[in-house]
Amino acid sequence: MPSSAVKVLDKNGQEITSVGFDRFGFNSEVPIDDLRSLYLRSHYSSAKPNDELNPDDEGPHHAQFTKGLSPYQSKSIYYPEHNSISYTTLARFPPVKLLAPSQRKRVLVTGGAGFVGSHLVDRLMLLGHDVTVLDNFFTGSRTTVSHWVGHPNFELVRHDVVEPFMIECDQIYHLACPASPPHYQFNAVKTVKTSFMGTLNMLGLAKRTKARFLISSTSEVYGDPEVHPQPEDYWGHVNPIGDRACYDEGKRVAETLTYGYHRQDGVDVRVARIFNTYGPRMNPYDGRVVSNFIVQALKGEDLTVYGDGTQTRSFQYIHDLVDGLICLMNSDETRPVNIGNGDEFTIGDFAELVREIVEKVQAEDGDKPSRQVQVVYKALPNDDPQKRRPDTTRAKESLKWQPRWTVRMGLEEMVRYYKAKMAEGSL
Ligand code: NAD
Ligand code: UDP
Ligand code: UDP
């Protein structure tokens, strides 16, 4: 595999060439370029009027990431003069590990077409496991996993988790649930149903199949916390009837159900409390702060800070989260575990950082921004937590897991991803 055109240094200044590790009998390591070739791949090549079609040409914005991996890229062709696209299936799937049947897991990923799910799916597929994605495409999209459709190890099922579902599997990553405030508040009753009935069904499935069950819970179970940073044994400070309650209380009851099945029925459970995570494939319009700020800055629009910008969040890059989820799933830790990055920012400072990084990447690429973007202030949404930072002592001690990506490195990669999407016209 080629070495990457973009060098990434971790928190200790070491170059990141691969993610994952061999721990708890499960090797999750893959080269970072193999993953990049999936999320920074070109979705099509452009045909100029009267041009010979050359589907092997990669767009210039993607080529620097996907060099050498073009046989695994989609060869769809875009016709600018008609604004139409001719889809082609992949000529060849990316190489996946050939595992002995004893090592190969049958893994169900609910919500696998979403932001977090699709990155987990890429990792599990490259590692050689059998992966089934179950998703109703409410906030996720088939395009996030389309590069695996047709692969013998992969299955994509449109299904709503509030309905029962039968499958035979060894591990269940239960991620299905809208995660951004505008999305989970769009239909609050459905969010509660998804959290309760969806989790009940997936736990029933785990009980029947004796599969190990991991739920993606959230830092929102701590609400607007009175303890800082938040350790797992903090019970939280949640408004049960506020705008965020459908999500916060939904996840709290989902955890209650999970430990109910664990105690009553012996279901083997794992609970990941995920803190704010960002990365490529985040829906650019789902209203979360990282995607909002980057897209605004790239489009030359002002960055919208809600409230006075003194509230804080701690941002984790997607590969660290996937490492943590896989590590937790394969460990013996049945208590809840915070998975997040301790680098805490006020939202006001974070807006400045995003603006600076977007300007840096634009300067490196020789782009001329249409205007200097400003930071503007909007009303603070109800019940917006004032501060949030994970206490990750448990993950460190129990899983030997710690985040490796600096916020700056993750943001630079995400800016390049959105830039490439803009250049393609799909953002
Ligand atoms: P996302 O919205 O991108 O993905 C959620 C996926 O679940 C989507 O593909 C959606 O279509 C699917 N889904 C929603 N309701 C469903 C239903 N009823 N049946 C089947 N599929 C359904 O969000 P994400 O950021 O990838 O979040 C994934 C999980 O991680 C969620 O459970 C979320 O609560 C949790 N989480 C994420 C973050 C974060 O910062 N990204 C933080 C804390 C917790
Ligand atoms: N369930 C499911 N798939 C399975 C097994 C169960 O979707 O393979 C659902 C089942 O329909 C029920 C829920 O999971 O709604 C809880 O199952 P459990 O066996 O605990 O409860 P029961 O069916 O006894 O009410
Ligand atoms: N936020 C903001 N501008 C935006 C979107 C969000 O200032 O365009 C703020 C939001 O009010 C919150 C923080 O950024 O304080 C994180 O918001 P997000 O929706 O990403 O996640 P959550 O509030 O669930 O942590």
Looking at the CA of 349, name the nearest ligand.
3
SS3 28: coil
CA distance 126 to 133: 15
SS3 349: helix
Q: What does the pLDDT read at residue 282?
A: 95
Nearest CA owner, ligand 2 atom 5: 205
- CATH number for the domain harbouring residue 255: 3.40.50.720
Does a structural domain hold residue 237? yes
Does a structural domain hold residue 252? yes
Contact 51, 79 (CB under 8 A): no
Does a structural domain hold residue 74? no
Does a structural domain hold residue 217? yes
Domain that holds residue 205: 18-39+96-347+378-423
Does a structural domain hold residue 156? yes
CA distance 53 to 47: 6
Output the pTM of the full model: 0.93
Q: What does the pLDDT read at residue 384?
A: 96
Is the pLDDT assigned to residue 52 strictly greater than 60? Answer: no
**Mutation pick for ligand 3 pocket among 222, 306, 312 (CB with most ligand atoms within 8 Å):** 306
pLDDT tens readout for residues 391-402: 999 999 999 999
Number of domains present in the structure of the chain:
1
Q: What does the pLDDT read at residue 142?
A: 94
The values of phi and psi at residue 376, to 5°, are: -120, 155
Plot region of 215 (φ>0 → left; ψ -120 to 50 → alpha; else → beta): beta
pLDDT tens readout for residues 186-210: 999 999 999 999 999 999 999 999 9
Task: Find out whether the beta carbon of 297 lies less than 6 Å from any atom of ligand 3.
Answer: no
Does a structural domain hold residue 61? no
Rg (CA), the chain: 21
Q: What does the pLDDT read at residue 362?
A: 94
pLDDT tens readout for residues 244-287: 999 999 999 999 999 999 999 999 999 999 999 999 999 999 89
What is 359-404 written as a DSSP string?
Answer: HHHHHHTT---SS---EEEEPPPTT--S---B--HHIIIII-----
**Mutation pick for ligand 1 pocket among 173, 175, 180, 290 (CB with most ligand atoms within 8 Å):** 175
CA distance 209 to 232: 29
Does a structural domain hold residue 367? no
- The burial class, CB within 10 Å (0-12 / 13-18 / 19+), for 408 is middle
CA distance 293 to 313: 14
CA 197 to centroid of chain Cα atoms: 23
SS3 340: coil
Is the pLDDT assigned to residue 123 strictly greater than 70? Answer: yes
- Tokens representing 279 are 């990365």
Active site residue 247: yes
Q: Of residues 247, 261, 278, 418, which has the active-site annotation?
A: 247
81-85, 100-104, 350-354, 413-417: least confidently modelled range: 81-85
Atom of ligand 2 nearest to the CA of 163: 7
Mean pLDDT of 166-193: 97
Mean pLDDT of 25-53: 76
Give the burial string for 133-154 (b: 16+ CB within 10 Å, else e). bbbbebbbeeebbbbbeeeebb
Does a structural domain hold residue 12? no
Task: Find out whether the beta carbon of 204 lies less than 6 Å from any atom of ligand 2.
Answer: yes
